[in-house]
Structure 1
Amino acid sequence: MGNAGLYSDFAKYYDLIYEWKDYKKESETVHKLVKKFKKSTGNKLLDIACGTGNHIQFLKKHYRITGIDLNGQMLKIARKKFPKTRFFKADMKNFNLKKEFDAVVCLFSSIAYLKGYGDLEKAIKCFAKHLKKGGVLIIEPFVEKKAFKSGTMHAQFVNKPEVKIARINTSNRKGDKVILDFHYLIGTPKGIKYSKEKHAIFLFDAGNFLKILRKHGFKAKFLKNGLLKNRGLYVGVKK
């Protein structure tokens, strides 16, 4: 995930909350796109905002993977799950691994935690610096502006013998930003805990997003059919 403050208290429950995601299918789609567009000859992949590493589980059979994330608790879990993979705590807007990759991916709308186009430009410039010529960049944005409906509510539940979780959120748009207001109830044998947090998400315009990609040396396109409904994917090849 892209923000150190988000999910910090709930990193250990993250995989349970997102158990519904088909990481295997998503990873297969990402791999097919990399194979289709990649011009470089290597197999090094950088997973930006890798979280607990759920895509890495399936991508590692095809690539030599490095992961970065801003959330130390998430990385702690990822390192435990994948001890042979290298992980770094880093900000997607400003990091330097001093190496280049054949593919760079930033999935599950992590890019939307940036605060605007200025931050996006910094991030894309940094991504480009870490890609080989002919390397592929794949970014999954948040819901498209036209598809987003303000005022919607969502509920998710985890029902395991050792833990019960209820998460409810509202989503409201303010200009180009969406505020996701999350409320949690977490029950364990020790008791029930209530907590809440707000996430600020930026709705990037596809045209402006593509302009920034092209400005920083990418031949880029937006694919409407992505990994999740109404999100799509940006795919760029470094010139």
Structure 2
Amino acid sequence: MTTATPTEWGRALAAARTVYDVAPLYEAIYLGRGKDYAAEAAEVAALITERNPGARDLLDVGCGPATHLRHLAEVFDRVEGADLAEPMLDHARRRLPGVPFHRADMRDFDLGRRFDAVTSLFSAIGNISGGAELRAALRCLRRHLRPGGVVLVEPWWFTENFVSGHVGGDVVEFEGMTVGRVSHSVRKGSSSHMTVHYVVARPGEGIWHFTDEHIMALFPREEYLAAFREAGLDAELIDLGNGGPGVFVGTAAEPGEVRR
């Protein structure tokens, strides 16, 4: 993990408007909460290779600071990442200097090449808004797949199982800092609104506090599946047994094949 100097930490935290502005902090929180990126990446790779044993290259959309991609890079011959948050991409490039990273909006981008596998993990697709954007994002992922390629999408909570009013809280230690995170989530219409407060204390420097707002789209499970079909992807929802919503795994239609 790349370690920032105290001065760099102070500047980044003072300027932070969202946790995505401080990529190492974002990563530290989830590692501190017990998220096992290596195990998750291994499961993703297994789901892909079961369906496409010859898969050699992979694109991760919404890659963040490459916490999954660094492990996927050990399985696939070539990997690339894409994300909309430049601070996340900066951290990813330092972590994997030989890997191409692209600033891209998952709803509409074109890298000019196709891959054997395309992933979008950690509920990145929930950052879109509305059914039209969901369909556009899945079509975009599909355009980057070779025929017979595999797409794997980890959704945000579904409309039918989102718990409005949920409160979460964690305290983690990271590189001499103490980080507190408290969140409250409510449903408003067809989206979830999560307010998150972060308190970061660093010896010799002080305490920083900032508040983050996350608005994530909520869709019924069946709307996801219909959007996959419309994009030319034969998808199924797989329960990973970890209490989460599961992952959608789909394969790209061969030329001339029509999904119904």
1:227–1:181 distance in 2 versus 1, CA, 3 Å: farther
State which of 54, 67, 76 in structure 1 corresponds to 2:67.
54
Quick one: distance in 1 between partners of 2:64 and 2:175?
A: 25
Q: State the Cα distance separating 1:6 from its structure 2 match.
A: 4.4
Larger radius of gyration: 2
State which of 8, 12, 28 in structure 2 corresponds to 1:16.
28
8 A Cα contact 1:177 1:201, kept in partner: yes
Q: State the Cα distance separating 1:107 from its structure 2 match.
A: 0.4
Alignment-mate amino acid for residue 52 of structure 1? P
8 A Cα contact 2:55 2:117, kept in partner: no
Matched, 1:132 2:146: yes
1:89 maps to what in 2? 103
Quick one: distance in 2 between partners of 1:6 and 1:100?
A: 32
Matches within 5 A, 1:77-226: 77-160=91-174, 162-188=176-202, 189-223=204-238, 225-226=239-240
State which of 56, 63, 71 in structure 2 corresponds to 1:43.
56
Gaps in structure 2 of 5+ consecutive residues:
1-16, 254-260
Gaps in structure 1 of 5+ consecutive residues:
none
Q: State the Cα distance separating 1:227 from its structure 2 match.
A: 7.2
8 A Cα contact 2:82 2:102, kept in partner: yes
Q: What's the TM-score, normalizing by structure 1?
A: 0.93
Secondary structure (helix, strand or coil) at the match of 2:101 reads strand
2:11 maps to what in 1? none
Quick one: distance in 1 between partners of 2:116 and 2:144?
A: 9
Q: What is the number of equivalent residue pairs in this alignment?
A: 233
1:194–1:35 distance in 2 versus 1, CA, 3 Å: same
Task: Please list the CA deviations of residues 82-139 of structure 1 after superposition, one character each: whole Å capped at 9, or x if unmatched.
Answer: 1111101111111110000000000000101111111111111111110000000000
8 A Cα contact 1:114 1:201, kept in partner: yes
Q: What's the TM-score, normalizing by structure 2?
A: 0.86
Task: Please list the CA deviations of residues 23-63 of structure 1 after superposition, one character each: whole Å capped at 9, or x if unmatched.
Answer: 11111111111011127x44110000000001112111111
Alignment-mate amino acid for residue 231 of structure 1? P
1:123–1:161 distance in 2 versus 1, CA, 3 Å: closer
1:173–1:27 distance in 2 versus 1, CA, 3 Å: same
8 A Cα contact 2:160 2:220, kept in partner: no
8 A Cα contact 1:144 1:230, kept in partner: no
Alignment-mate amino acid for residue 16 of structure 1? A
Q: Say what the alpha-carbon RMSD is for the aligned residues.
A: 1.5
Q: Comparing 144-153 with 46-55, which one deviates more in the overlay?
A: 144-153
8 A Cα contact 2:49 2:55, kept in partner: no
